[in-house]
Amino acid sequence: MDRDEPGYWIGSYTVNLFVTEAIFAAAFVGGMLFTWPAVPWTELGVACAALAILTPLATFPHSKLLFLAIDLAFRPLDPDDLTTPLEKRIAKSEERSG
Protein backbone atom coordinates (compact mmCIF):
# COMPACT_ATOMS: atom_id res chain seq x y z
CA MET A 1 0.00 0.00 0.00
CA ASP A 2 1.23 3.45 -0.87
CA ARG A 3 -0.63 6.72 -0.66
CA ASP A 4 1.33 8.06 -3.61
CA GLU A 5 2.22 11.28 -1.81
CA PRO A 6 5.57 12.87 -1.02
CA GLY A 7 7.11 12.12 2.32
CA TYR A 8 6.58 8.38 2.66
CA TRP A 9 10.14 7.47 1.80
CA ILE A 10 11.41 10.03 4.32
CA GLY A 11 8.96 8.72 6.91
CA SER A 12 10.14 5.14 6.52
CA TYR A 13 13.75 6.33 6.57
CA THR A 14 13.06 8.16 9.85
CA VAL A 15 11.46 5.08 11.42
CA ASN A 16 14.48 3.04 10.29
CA LEU A 17 16.87 5.60 11.79
CA PHE A 18 15.03 5.64 15.14
CA VAL A 19 15.01 1.83 15.34
CA THR A 20 18.71 1.69 14.50
CA GLU A 21 19.60 4.32 17.09
CA ALA A 22 17.54 2.56 19.77
CA ILE A 23 19.19 -0.81 19.08
CA PHE A 24 22.64 0.78 19.00
CA ALA A 25 22.08 2.62 22.31
CA ALA A 26 20.65 -0.47 24.00
CA ALA A 27 23.56 -2.63 22.82
CA PHE A 28 26.15 -0.05 23.86
CA VAL A 29 24.71 0.63 27.30
CA GLY A 30 23.88 -3.04 27.85
CA GLY A 31 27.36 -4.15 26.83
CA MET A 32 28.93 -1.52 29.02
CA LEU A 33 26.83 -2.43 32.07
CA PHE A 34 27.27 -6.17 31.51
CA THR A 35 31.09 -5.98 31.41
CA TRP A 36 31.59 -3.21 33.98
CA PRO A 37 34.24 -2.39 35.42
CA ALA A 38 36.56 -3.90 32.79
CA VAL A 39 34.76 -2.77 29.64
CA PRO A 40 36.38 -4.07 26.43
CA TRP A 41 35.99 -0.78 24.55
CA THR A 42 37.47 -1.98 21.27
CA GLU A 43 35.25 -5.06 21.05
CA LEU A 44 32.20 -3.11 22.17
CA GLY A 45 32.90 -0.42 19.59
CA VAL A 46 33.34 -2.95 16.77
CA ALA A 47 30.18 -4.83 17.76
CA CYS A 48 28.14 -1.62 17.97
CA ALA A 49 29.53 -0.40 14.64
CA ALA A 50 28.52 -3.70 13.04
CA LEU A 51 25.04 -3.31 14.53
CA ALA A 52 24.84 0.27 13.22
CA ILE A 53 25.62 -1.00 9.71
CA LEU A 54 23.53 -4.18 9.68
CA THR A 55 20.40 -3.00 11.51
CA PRO A 56 19.22 -0.53 8.82
CA LEU A 57 19.72 -3.18 6.14
CA ALA A 58 17.73 -5.73 8.13
CA THR A 59 14.89 -3.39 9.14
CA PHE A 60 14.40 -1.32 5.98
CA PRO A 61 11.88 -3.69 4.34
CA HIS A 62 9.66 -3.37 7.40
CA SER A 63 10.16 0.32 8.13
CA LYS A 64 7.82 1.51 5.36
CA LEU A 65 5.12 -0.85 6.59
CA LEU A 66 5.58 0.40 10.15
CA PHE A 67 5.47 4.03 8.98
CA LEU A 68 2.28 3.41 7.01
CA ALA A 69 0.72 1.79 10.10
CA ILE A 70 1.65 4.86 12.16
CA ASP A 71 0.30 7.12 9.42
CA LEU A 72 -2.97 5.18 9.24
CA ALA A 73 -3.37 5.59 13.00
CA PHE A 74 -3.19 9.36 12.64
CA ARG A 75 -4.83 9.75 9.24
CA PRO A 76 -7.49 7.11 8.42
CA LEU A 77 -7.76 5.52 5.00
CA ASP A 78 -9.50 7.54 2.30
CA PRO A 79 -11.22 5.69 -0.60
CA ASP A 80 -9.00 7.63 -3.01
CA ASP A 81 -5.97 5.95 -1.41
CA LEU A 82 -7.06 2.59 -2.82
CA THR A 83 -6.98 3.64 -6.47
CA THR A 84 -3.84 3.09 -8.48
CA PRO A 85 -2.19 6.00 -10.30
CA LEU A 86 -3.43 4.62 -13.65
CA GLU A 87 -7.03 4.60 -12.41
CA LYS A 88 -6.61 8.17 -11.19
CA ARG A 89 -5.38 9.30 -14.62
CA ILE A 90 -8.28 7.56 -16.37
CA ALA A 91 -10.81 9.14 -13.99
CA LYS A 92 -9.30 12.60 -14.51
CA SER A 93 -9.37 12.24 -18.30
CA GLU A 94 -13.01 11.10 -18.16
CA GLU A 95 -13.91 14.13 -16.02
CA ARG A 96 -12.34 16.47 -18.55
CA SER A 97 -14.04 14.88 -21.56
CA GLY A 98 -17.45 14.28 -20.00
73, part of any domain: yes
- Give the number of domains in the chain: 1
Compute how many other C-beta atoms are within 10 angstroms of the C-beta atom of residue 16: 22
64, part of any domain: yes
What's the pLDDT at 31?
A: 96
What's the pLDDT at 96?
A: 74
23, part of any domain: yes
14, part of any domain: yes
2, part of any domain: no
Per the model's pLDDT, the better-predicted residue between 12 and 91 turns out to be 12
pTM score, two decimals?
Answer: 0.71
Residue range of the domain that includes 69? 8-97
Q: For residue 43, how many C-alpha atoms fall within 13 Å in the half-sphere facing its CB?
A: 6
Give the tens place of pLDDT for each residue, 11-28: 889 999 999 999 999 999
What's the pLDDT at 91?
A: 67
Residues in the chain: 98
- Which pairs from 82-90 meet CB under 8 Å and 24+ separation? 85/4
End-to-end alpha carbon distance in the chain: 30
- Whether the Cβ atoms of residue 28 and residue 44 lie closer than 8 Å to each other: yes
1, part of any domain: no
30, part of any domain: yes
12, part of any domain: yes
